Chain A
Amino acid sequence: KEKHKILHQLLQNSTSPVDL
C-alpha cells in the first residue's frame, strides 16, 4: 500500500458504498 500511495488515498476518500 505504501508503494501505491495515491491509489490508496483516492480510494480511501470517503464515499458511501453503493448497494442496489
Chain B
Amino acid sequence: IPPPAKKPLTKIVSHLLVVEPEKIYAMPDPSVPDGDIKALTTLCDLADRELVVIIGWAKHIPGFSSLSLGDQMSLLQSAWMEILVLSIVFRSLACDEELVYAEDYAVDEERARSSGLLDLHVAILPLVRRFKKLRVDKEEFVTLKAIALANSDSMHIENLEAVQRLQDSLHEALQDFEGCQHPEDPRRAGKLLMTLPLLRQTATKAVQHFYSVKMQGKVPMHKLFLEMLEAK
C-alpha cells in the first residue's frame, strides 16, 4: 500500500502537466522586411500574448488562486520574465545553440546578430546549456516554473505565510517526484533548484533589454507587456 501522504504531491506534478499551455506561435509579419525592428516587434507581440497565457496558467497552480488578488498580482509582476525565459529554455533543449522563442521562431547566433537579438541570445544560452547538462524533463520544467512564480521575492507580499505554504507544497512536489523518478541521484532536486539564481539573473538581463527597447520607442508594445515591464 503506498503511503497516503505521497498521493496529493504526485498529483500536483501531474496536474501541472495537464494545465501546461498549448504551443505558441510567433507569426512574424511576412510583409515587413527582416531586421531589428521586425525581430523585436515579433518578440514583443509574442511576449504580450504569452503573458495572457501565463496569467491563465498561474490560476491553475494548486493554491495560487487561494492567495489574495494583491499577492497573485505581486508574484506575477515579479516572476513573469523568469517564466517566459524558462519556457524559451525548455523549448530550446532539443536544438543546438538555437533559441526557440516560439514553435515557428527559432533563432541561431547568426540570425540573432543580424536581427539585434544577440545580447538576449548570449544571456539566455548559458541557462539552456545548464538545463541540457541536467537533462531536465517536462515534469521538472513545469514544477520549476511554478516554483519560480511562488519564489519570486516580491517586496509587496501581504500574506507571507500563505506564499510560504505555496512554496512548500511545490517544493515537496518536486522532492517527491525526484524521489520516485530519480532515486539514483538524491541531490537532483537541489541541482534543479540551484539553476534558479541563473534564471533570475537571465530574466533581469531580459527585462533590461526590453526596457531599453521601450525607452527607444521604435517598437510597438501592447498594453499588458508594457504594464508588466513598468511593474519591474
Contact = CB atoms under 8 A, between A and B. Distances in A.
Contacts of B65: 15-18
Interface in A1-20: 1, 3-8, 10-12, 15-20
Given A4-B73, A15-B60, A20 B8 contact: yes
Given A17-B65, A20-B11, A20-B12, A1 B227 contact: no
Nearest to B52: A10
B223 A7 contact: no
Contact of B73 (A8, A15, A20): A8
B143 interface: no
B62 A20 contact: yes
Nearest to A17: B65
B5 interface: no
A7 B70 CA distance: 11
Q: Interface of chain A, helix or strand or loop or mixed?
A: loop
Nearest to A7: B73
Interface in B139-161: none
B11 A7 contact: no
Contacts of A12: 69
B62 to A, nearest CB: 4
Listed from nearest, the 6 A-B pairs whose CB atoms lie closest are A17-B65, A20-B62, A10-B55, A6-B224, A15-B59, A18-B62
Interface of B: 8, 11-12, 15, 52, 55-56, 59-66, 69-70, 72-73, 76-77, 223-224, 227-228, 230-231
16 contacts: A1-B69, A1-B73, A4-B231, A7-B55, A7-B73, A7-B228, A7-B231, A10-B224, A11-B72, A15-B56, A15-B59, A17-B65, A18-B15, A18-B63, A19-B62, A20-B15
